[in-house]
């Protein structure tokens, strides 16, 4: 088995300020080359913060960071200057939720892609433009020659997201980070973008971390799913394992709340309460206050991480028991 | 019911205690050292101006030909005397009365008139907005100094005319800010929700709009007071504002400018007062803006 | 279509909407001349029976939110009729009275509450405006009913609450007017999934307890399917299909409805979606296509679809399933019409 392309060990991210927020708590994650992982979680679970940490985009003064992140054997936490710049956008690139905000409104689509290619590959403008054209073709934009000269506001939402993807993939990154790239899109457009990302992933062979709050989207895009709650990964496994056999009560609750094939009129098994505010570092199971299966031990200490299979883990004392059994 | 309550229990305890909006603003402002220092300076200036006759100062109008341009620190005249031998300390403190009055009142008037116009334009929109805002734009075509001079010049010198001209100068910027803030609030769902409960336009404006737009307009207006003071002093300096022998900082700066080679420190005193006051007003308005920020 | 022959399933609808129309002019240039028209809502008709929940689905720009705003008069309609309980808006029913009987819950729980007003005052505001007795008492009772202890939460400000709690406040505020109809415009869409389920349970309980009629607008088909009795599908300002939830779920008739359903994530890792049902984005409602507005994206489109505008009609005699598509009208001249139409 080859080496992982990305390995995160015991990552902690803490935002300092009037109120300290422990956004990421002891997160470890391993990603193999060419793998597609969905980071699934609700708002405030730390999924977007994880992505920003990977790109070292967090404001350094206000953030307390420890743990290690290594990308293809390189320590990311100590990168700086030129090497950090070539890592960002060169080795790893990102697709954002709002392409309207992530694309620069005063440059044409072609110029933006070409600029990124010139910066990272050091090629001439005409070569970079040829790459840009090629990329627009690959993201299936109709009449790409004409679109090169368009400004972002002249494109529809779905087209802009395609451009965003073209821009992210133009330098052939080995890891693509996608932060809810389909959330702002209409249903019929969302599925097009998901299928496009799947095809491009196969074509380019890069690894993908896809952040989403929507289980359905995670199933469509990923081979593996990591479920986040309160800044921790509470369950991880292949998509098939997590969907067919969710072992953490939170994952089970999320799947039920998706309402897929829930009969009309039945009462929903809602997870009560709301996620914790994370002002203090969790010293017990963060989900225990909302968990129907919680035992006194769950509130007293951090839950054990069980590994029911290879690369499968659940951070729960009562892993595998179902809520219905209660 | 019991179940719903139970569902909410975990986060209910974490929520902070209820607190009034203004008590929060005052608490945050009190914690801002710079703003508090400025507030104290301005309060002292206003108090000394208001109570000037009872402070046992020399007569600010009575000059003495033999005691002209005494330097700072002279016995009996701590801050010296001006070119007509009048006591500088008394004139500066009495001068604060007029200067602060003409510096603040136009902004107060402009705040009320401009807010009313801006809120009406922003809330009603359409034709009303177009008419009000285009008229405002006409005034924007002239630099404020020029506009103040032009109006004052047309009306003639005098305190009332200075007040009128400065008020006219400050209505357009206040209106523009009020309009922008109001159209922003107007598009929020809680205004729609209030309309959807059957409330009429005046009720919606009174209950939901004013409270949310007034503080940003107020903060903006406080930042205008320093400009207004300088403009008022400028008008007097040019001789189209307050007329001699009234003590007023701008006018004093003008009459003392001939003495700048004799005693530059003395000649600069009214300028220092103008500078210090407008700086304090500016810093206070900055502090007020951050204190009024609810979500923090 | 005659006025009495509307997509409904009962004889006496609580709310009936006829030929609702709203075109927004787009002005430009120095003189603000009209340059184009957005046909946001173009001839929308439907009826809702008392106690029923009508789900409205569609993509952005389909006019579902504009329809909601037209219903409570937040946007003035260009044309059409709203009849509530037999009374027509205008001649029989004042806008103020309509706004007591129809209330709305918005998507953004924070923007829909006045940040400078306590929760209790926000809930009581409407009752106070309408001159209902004891607004404060009403507010307290309803806050308790939606699961917020009035003594603990009444004096708080919106930013001190979580998103789920704020949306409960918005629901209480709507109910404080004792409305007959509540329009829920993406009311649970911004909530986290786990909180969304709590609020859906609450909405179901309240519907039962107060005998409410809901118009539930959402882009999430799973949620709409769960809560609605009937589903109305909109595309570019028009109704393309209305039917009871089971009918439409099992046999979606309009090609657009089918595409919408097959665009839903499969939830089955072994059986993922392989082909997007539609290509491209929804067209701009500024210049909607001629004939059937869906023909530019429709896999079944034929010549007639470009020319002739399909009319909303029953799938079969007496059927509660209505669709606006030439495929289901044997007389339309669509080559595939006959095989598609039910016998």
One DSSP character per residue, B223-239 reads HHHHHHHHHHHHHHHHT
Residue that has been written with the tokens 């989207």 in this structure: A217
For residue C1, being part of any structural domain is answered with no
Q: Are A131 and A113 in contact, with CB atoms under 8 Å apart?
A: yes
For residue C7, being part of any structural domain is answered with no
- How much is the mean pLDDT over chain B? 82
- For residues C273 and C264, give the distance between their C-alpha atoms in angstroms, rounded to a whole number: 9
What single DSSP character describes residue C181? E
pLDDT at position C343 over 50: no
CB-CB neighbors (< 8 A) of C287 in chain A: none
Lowest mean pLDDT among A61-70, B68-77, C174-183, C204-213: B68-77
CB-CB neighbors (< 8 A) of B207 in chain C: 114, 117, 125
For residue C51, being part of any structural domain is answered with yes
Q: Domain containing B53: what range?
A: 42-58+79-292
Among residues B234, B194, B214, B227, which one has the least CA distance to residue B288? B214
pLDDT, tens only, B166-196: 999 999 999 999 999 999 999 899 999 998 8
Number of domains comprising chain C = 1
For residue B166, being part of any structural domain is answered with yes
pTM of the full predicted structure?
0.84
**Sheet hosting strand C213-217, strand order edge to edge:** C102-105, C181-185, C213-217, C53-57, C230-235, C238-244, C322-323, C313-314
pLDDT at position A73 over 90: no
For residue C183, being part of any structural domain is answered with yes
pLDDT, tens only, C249-284: 999 999 999 999 998 888 888 888 888 888 888 888
C137: its two tokens: 């008492």
For residue C5, being part of any structural domain is answered with no
pLDDT: is C274 or A219 the higher one? A219
Number of domains comprising chain B = 1
The pLDDT value recorded for residue B160 is 87
A323 touches chain C (CB under 8 A): no
A308: its two tokens: 């029911």
Lowest mean pLDDT among B78-87, C130-139, C213-222, C321-330: B78-87
Partners of A6 in the β-ladder: A31, A71
> What band does B2 get if pLDDT is binned at 50, 70 and 90?
very low
Lowest mean pLDDT among B64-73, B95-104, C98-107: B64-73
For residue B232, being part of any structural domain is answered with yes
> In a 10 Å sphere around its CB, with 0-12 CB exposed, 13-18 middle and 19+ buried, how is residue A279 labelled?
exposed
State the smallest CA–CA distance between residue A161 and chain B in angstroms: 28
Residue B13 burial (CB count, 10 A):
9
> Taking the C-alpha atoms of A209, A212, A216 and A217 in order, what is their torsion angle to the nearest 10 degrees?
-50
C184 touches chain A (CB under 8 A): no
For residue B2, being part of any structural domain is answered with no
B56, B84, B122, B244 from B53: Cα distances, Å: 7, 21, 46, 19
pLDDT, tens only, A265-287: 788 888 888 888 888 888 899 99
pLDDT: is B258 or C181 the higher one? C181
Q: Are B245 and B251 in contact, with CB atoms under 8 Å apart?
A: no
CB-CB neighbors (< 8 A) of B296 in chain A: 18
Q: Domain containing C215: what range?
A: 13-340
For residue B31, being part of any structural domain is answered with no
For residue B3, being part of any structural domain is answered with no
For residue B21, being part of any structural domain is answered with no
H or E element that contains C135? helix C135-145
What is the phi/psi pair of residue C10, to 5°? -120, 165
pLDDT, tens only, A157-211: 889 999 999 999 998 999 999 999 988 888 889 999 999 999 999 999 999 999 9
H or E element that contains B275? helix B264-291
- For residues B150 and B144, give the distance between their C-alpha atoms in angstroms, rounded to a whole number: 10
Give the pairing of strands A63-71 and A6-15. antiparallel
Mean pLDDT confidence for B218-233: 84
Cβ neighbours of residue C327 under 8 Å, at least 6 residues apart? C253, C255, C300, C334, C336, C337, C340, C341
- Which residue from A187, A195, A274 is facing C260, i.e. has the nearest CB? A187
Cβ neighbours of residue B226 under 8 Å, at least 6 residues apart? B277, B278, B279, B281, B282
The pLDDT value recorded for residue B11 is 39
Test C111 with B7 for CB contact under 8 angstroms.
no
Test A289 with B10 for CB contact under 8 angstroms.
yes
Mutate to test the interface with B, among C31, C112, C165, C197 (most CBs of B within 10 A): C112
> What band does C32 get if pLDDT is binned at 50, 70 and 90?
low
Interface of C with B in 103-132 (CB under 8 A): 103-104, 106-108, 111-118, 122, 125-126, 129-130
- For residues C92 and C69, give the distance between their C-alpha atoms in angstroms, rounded to a whole number: 20
Q: Are A231 and A24 in contact, with CB atoms under 8 Å apart?
A: yes
pLDDT at position B73 over 80: no
For residue C2, being part of any structural domain is answered with no
For residue C95, being part of any structural domain is answered with yes
For residue B37, being part of any structural domain is answered with no
- For residues A174 and A31, give the distance between their C-alpha atoms in angstroms, rounded to a whole number: 11
Mean pLDDT confidence for C121-149: 91
> In a 10 Å sphere around its CB, with 0-12 CB exposed, 13-18 middle and 19+ buried, how is residue A36 labelled?
buried
Residue B226's domain is classified under what CATH number? 1.10.3720.10
pLDDT at position C340 over 80: no
Instruction: Tell me what ipTM this predicted complex has.
Output: 0.86
- For residues B194 and C28, give the distance between their C-alpha atoms in angstroms, rounded to a whole number: 31
For residue B35, being part of any structural domain is answered with no
C266 touches chain A (CB under 8 A): yes
**Sheet hosting strand A63-71, strand order edge to edge:** A21-31, A6-15, A63-71, A74-75
Lowest mean pLDDT among B24-28, B87-91, C205-209, C335-339: C335-339
pLDDT at position C92 over 80: yes
pLDDT at position A219 over 90: yes
For residue C142, being part of any structural domain is answered with yes
> Taking the C-alpha atoms of B10, B14, B19 and B21 in order, what is their torsion angle to the nearest 10 degrees?
-100
Whether the link from the prior residue into A49 is cis, omega within 30° of 0, is no
CB-CB neighbors (< 8 A) of A188 in chain C: 59, 259-260, 263, 276-278, 282
B53, B139, B148, B162, C329 from B153: Cα distances, Å: 32, 16, 8, 9, 80
Mean pLDDT confidence for B13-42: 75
């Amino acid at each position: 088995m080859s080496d992982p392309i990305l390995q995160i060990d015991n990552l902690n991210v803490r935002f300092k300020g009037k109120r300290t927020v422990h956004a990421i708590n002891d997160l470890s994650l391993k990603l193999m080359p060419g793998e597609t992982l969905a980071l699934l979680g609700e708002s405030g679970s730390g999924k977007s913060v994880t992505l920003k940490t990977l790109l070292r985009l967090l404001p350094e003064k206000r953030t307390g960071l420890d743990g290690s992140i290594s990308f293809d054997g390189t320590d990311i936490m100590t990168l700086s200057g030129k090497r950090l710049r070539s890592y960002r956008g060169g080795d790893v690139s990102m697709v954002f939720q709002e392409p309207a905000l992530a694309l620069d409104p005063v440059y044409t689509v072609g110029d933006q892609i070409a600029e990124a290619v010139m910066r990272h590959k050091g090629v001439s403008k005409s070569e970079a433009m040829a790459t840009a054209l090629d990329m627009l073709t690959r993201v299936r934009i109709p009449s790409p020659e004409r679109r090169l000269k368009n400004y972002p506001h002249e494109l529809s939402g779905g087209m802009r997201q395609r451009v965003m993807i073209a821009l992210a993939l133009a330098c052939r990154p080995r890891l693509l980070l996608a932060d809810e790239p389909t959330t702002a899109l209409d249903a019929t457009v969302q599925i097009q973008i998901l299928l496009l990302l799947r095809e491009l992933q196969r074509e380019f062979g890069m690894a993908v971390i896809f952040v989403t709050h929507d289980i359905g989207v995670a199933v469509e895009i990923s081979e593996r799913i990591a479920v986040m709650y309160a800044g921790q990964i509470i369950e991880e496994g292949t998509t098939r394992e997590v969907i067919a056999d969710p072992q953490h009560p939170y994952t089970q609750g999320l799947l039920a709340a998706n309402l897929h094939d829930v009969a009309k009129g039945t009462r929903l098994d809602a997870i009560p309460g709301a996620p914790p505010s994370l002002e203090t570092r969790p010293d017990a199971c963060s989900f225990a206050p909302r968990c129907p299966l919680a035992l006194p031990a769950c509130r007293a200490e951090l839950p054990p991480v069980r590994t029911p299979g290879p690369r499968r883990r659940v951070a729960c004392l009562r892993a595998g028991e179902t809520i219905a059994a209660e | 019911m019991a179940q719903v309550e139970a569902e909410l229990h975990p986060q209910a305890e974490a929520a902070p205690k209820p607190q009034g909006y203004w008590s929060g603003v005052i608490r945050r402002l009190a914690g801002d050292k710079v703003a508090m220092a400025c507030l104290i300076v301005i309060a002292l200036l206003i108090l000394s101006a208001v109570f000037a006759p009872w402070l046992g100062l020399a007569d600010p109008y009575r000059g003495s030909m033999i005691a002209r341009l005494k330097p700072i620190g002279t016995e009996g005249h701590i801050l010296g005397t001006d070119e007509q031998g009048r006591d500088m300390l008394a004139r500066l403190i009495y001068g604060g009365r007029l200067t602060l009055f003409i510096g603040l009142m136009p902004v107060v008037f402009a705040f009320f008139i401009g807010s009313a116009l801006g809120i009406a334009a922003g809330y009603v929109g359409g034709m009303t907005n177009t008419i009000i805002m285009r008229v405002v734009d006409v005034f924007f075509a002239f630099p404020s100094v020029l506009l103040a001079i032009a109006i004052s010049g047309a009306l003639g010198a005098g305190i009332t005319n200075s007040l009128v001209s400065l008020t006219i100068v400050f209505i357009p910027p206040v209106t523009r800010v009020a309009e922008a803030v109001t159209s922003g609030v107007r598009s929020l769902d809680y205004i729609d929700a209030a309309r959807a409960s059957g409330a009429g336009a005046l009720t919606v404006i009174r209950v939901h709009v004013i409270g949310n737009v007034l503080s940003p307009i107020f903060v903006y207006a406080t930042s205008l007071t320093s400009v207004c003071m300088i403009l008022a002093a400028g008008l007097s300096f040019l001789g189209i504002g307050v007329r001699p022998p009234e003590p007023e900082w701008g006018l004093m700066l003008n009459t003392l400018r001939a003495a700048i080679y004799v005693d530059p420190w003395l000649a600069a005193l009214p300028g220092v007062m103008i500078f210090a006051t407008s700086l304090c007003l500016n810093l206070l308005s900055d502090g007020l803006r951050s204190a009024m920020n609810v979500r923090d | 279509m005659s006025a009495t022959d509307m997509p409904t399933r009962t004889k006496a609808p609580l709310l009936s909407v006829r030929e609702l129309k709203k075109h927004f002019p787009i002005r430009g240039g120095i003189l603000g001349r009209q340059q184009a028209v957005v046909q946001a809502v173009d001839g929308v008709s439907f009826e809702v029976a008392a106690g029923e929940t009508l789900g409205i689905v569609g993509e952005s720009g389909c006019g579902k939110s504009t329809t909601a705003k037209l219903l409570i008069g937040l946007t003035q309609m260009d044309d059409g009729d709203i009849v509530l309980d037999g009374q027509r808006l205008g001649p029989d029913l004042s806008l103020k009275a309509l706004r007591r009987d129809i209330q709305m819950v918005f998507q953004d729980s924070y923007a829909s509450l006045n940040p400078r007003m306590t929760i209790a005052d926000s809930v009581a505001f409407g009752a106070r405006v309408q001159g209902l007795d004891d607004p404060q008492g009403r507010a307290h009772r309803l806050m308790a009913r939606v699961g917020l202890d009035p003594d603990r939460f009444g004096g708080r400000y919106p930013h001190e609450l979580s998103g789920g709690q704020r949306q409960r406040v918005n629901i209480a505020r709507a109910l404080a007017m004792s409305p007959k109809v509540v329009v829920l415009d993406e009311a649970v869409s911004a909530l986290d999934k786990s909180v969304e389920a709590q609020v859906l349970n609450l909405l179901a309980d309240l519907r039962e307890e107060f005998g409410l009629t809901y118009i539930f607008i959402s882009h999430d088909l799973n949620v709409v399917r769960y809560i609605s009795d009937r589903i109305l599908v909109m595309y570019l300002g028009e109704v393309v299909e209305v039917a009871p939830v089971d009918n439409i779920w099992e046999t979606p008739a309009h090609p657009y409805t089918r595409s919408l359903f097959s665009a839903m994530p499969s939830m089955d890792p072994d059986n993922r979606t392989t082909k997007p049902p539609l290509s491209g984005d929804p067209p701009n409602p500024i210049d909607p296509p001629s004939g059937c507005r869906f023909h530019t994206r429709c896999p079944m489109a034929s010549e007639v679809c470009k020319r002739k505008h399909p009319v909303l009609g029953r799938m079969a005699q007496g059927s509660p399933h209505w669709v606006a598509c030439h495929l289901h009208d044997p007389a339309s001249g669509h080559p595939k019409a006959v095989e598609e139409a039910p016998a």
